[in-house]
Amino acid sequence: MYELMPFILFAVVALALVAGFPVAFTLAGVALLFAGVGTATGIFDPVFLEAFPNRVFGIMTNETLIAVPVFVFMGVMLERSKLADQLLQSLAAMLHRVPGGLGIAVMAVGALMAASTGIVGATVVTMGLLSLPAMLRAGYAPSLATGSICAAGTLGQIVPPSIVLILLADVLSNAYQQAQLRMGQFSPETVSVGELFAGALLPGLVLVGLYMAYIIVMALWKPEKLPAARRDGDGAAESGPWQLLGLAAGPLFLIIAVLGSILGGIATPTEAASVGAIGAMVLAALRRRLNLETLKATVYRSAQISAMVFMILIGASLFSLVFRGFGGDEQVAALLGAIPGGVTAAVIVVMIALFLLGFVLDFIEITYIVIPIVGPVLLAMGVDPVWLGIMIAVNLQTSFLTPPFGFSLFYLRGVTPESVPTAAMYRGVAPFIAIQLFMLILLAVFPSIATWLPGTLY
């Protein structure tokens, strides 16, 4: 029975989360319950819990994690400045004679906003509210319209600067240090946010390019499903490249400045995030969207999201301590090590498990619950930490698109009119899922896609 306790603990947590209980309190509450039962029966040593205050203090003083609320503030401020709406209108107006032009515009703006906000749900809902009505009015097939929006929204997982990558970098860094200590290397290396950003840059750009290429091919092959937008006499079609450049210059400069300063080693993620937050406020002010009410709403929303992230982190820290107290990390290592096929088979099994967990758990939950368990084992087998991080991000991005449980589909369904059937949404995301799987295969066959740039820069 003792050997099964870590897996029973994990299963109970998963069931409670599926039932809808709050993530952070579920992690901490179930872990404490199991620790209590284990202590009473003599199969758990409560000394493991003595490390919890140090874990919380470590979270409070973690310089990387300080960047999270600042990046969240930047994304929320850009969202409230209505910049995406103006960009979409101008870009769509420029491409109004091009079959599939509106779809290309949606993908471009979606990628830009995904990089800015880094939160899948916010991007999918925002793009759904802004672009879906316009795409349906233009005569786009509902499946292609909803599929494009879902795919564009999930780019926030992989396109830097992304909050997801910041959290993943922190967890992978800890896992990498544990793996090195187990192997007897007592001066362990770390994985920085900059390395993961650099590793995600090429795969992210390739994905955006593949998405756009698919839209162009479909527009040429079946133009009736992605027709050119009709001029409606409202002046939107008169938008020129200079107007578009004026709208896009601000957020593009902001993202390049934030990302460039991190990749170039000029600023830490926290310092770069602060520059981004100030820049977002300046952009909102230039568009006359910055006032006391907007600032209060942005701060309140940012505090909500940040509090959720950090409470999950604290709950996950307690969960991981109890899981280790039952010997879970050793059993997972033995289980993965016993799989025939060695490292390759272990990575495939973990990727399949993460893909399936992506149906029921959010990225933050998986990052703080699952990665600390399997990460040290895979990294101790010699897997490159940056490559592993990018594979995980792309894998979960695929999971969030896959019917019937993909999170992106749920988010978009909430803002999609009843006239668009759910089956059409499922058909629409299928080609983008195929593109994601192709990207995973590319990364598996050519790891240098993810490792070349960080290896060159660092």
**Tell me: the pLDDT tens digits for 264-315?**
888 888 888 888 889 889 888 887 888 888 899 989 988 887 888 788 888 8
Q: What is the pLDDT confidence band of residue 359, given thresholds at 50, 70 and 90?
A: confident
Report how far residue 24's alpha carbon sits from residue 117's, in angstroms, rounded to the nearest whole number: 22
10 Å Cβ neighbour count for 428? 24
- The pLDDT value recorded for residue 235 is 41
Mean pLDDT for the stretch of residues 226-231: 66
- The pLDDT value recorded for residue 421 is 86
Q: What is the pLDDT confidence band of residue 76, given thresholds at 50, 70 and 90?
A: confident
User: Residue 148 above 60 pLDDT?
Assistant: yes
Report how far residue 121's alpha carbon sits from residue 364's, in angstroms, rounded to the nearest whole number: 12
pTM for the structure as a whole: 0.82
User: Residue 385 above 90 pLDDT?
Assistant: yes
User: Residue 149 above 60 pLDDT?
Assistant: yes
- The pLDDT value recorded for residue 234 is 43
- The pLDDT value recorded for residue 268 is 83
- The pLDDT value recorded for residue 118 is 61
Q: Pick the more confident residue, 272 or 441.
A: 441
For residues 127-137, one letter each, b for 16 or more C-beta atoms within 10 angstroms of the residue's C-beta and e for the rest, the string is bbebbbebbbe
Q: What is the pLDDT confidence band of residue 5, given thresholds at 50, 70 and 90?
A: confident
**Tell me: the pLDDT tens digits for 41-75?**
888 888 888 888 988 888 888 777 888 888 888 87
Which of 270-274, 322-326, 335-339, 373-377 has the lowest average pLDDT? 335-339
User: Residue 325 above 60 pLDDT?
Assistant: yes
**Tell me: the pLDDT tens digits for 422-437?**
888 889 999 999 999 9
Query: What's the distance, CA 59 to chain centroid?
Result: 20
Report how far residue 75's alpha carbon sits from residue 117's, in angstroms, rounded to the nearest whole number: 4
Mean pLDDT for the stretch of residues 331-356: 85
Q: Report which of 157, 142, 75 is spatially closest to residue 103, judged by C-alpha positions.
A: 142
Which of 36-50, 100-114, 363-377 is modeled with the greatest confidence?
36-50
- The pLDDT value recorded for residue 435 is 95
**Tell me: the pLDDT tens digits for 123-142?**
787 778 778 888 888 888 99
- The pLDDT value recorded for residue 410 is 77
Which DSSP string corresponds to 97-136?
TSTTHHHHHHHHHHHHHHHHH--HHHHHHHHHHHHHHHHH
Contacts of 448 (CB under 8 A, 6+ apart): none
Two tokens at 107?
């993908």
- The pLDDT value recorded for residue 98 is 74
Q: Are residues 144 and 226 in contact, defined by beta-carbon separation less than 8 angstroms?
A: yes
Q: Pick the more confident residue, 442 or 5.
A: 442
Contacts of 68 (CB under 8 A, 6+ apart): 163, 166, 167, 306, 309, 310
Mean pLDDT for the stretch of residues 332-343: 81
**Tell me: the pLDDT tens digits for 389-406?**
999 999 988 888 888 767
Mean pLDDT score across all residues of the chain: 83
- The pLDDT value recorded for residue 117 is 62
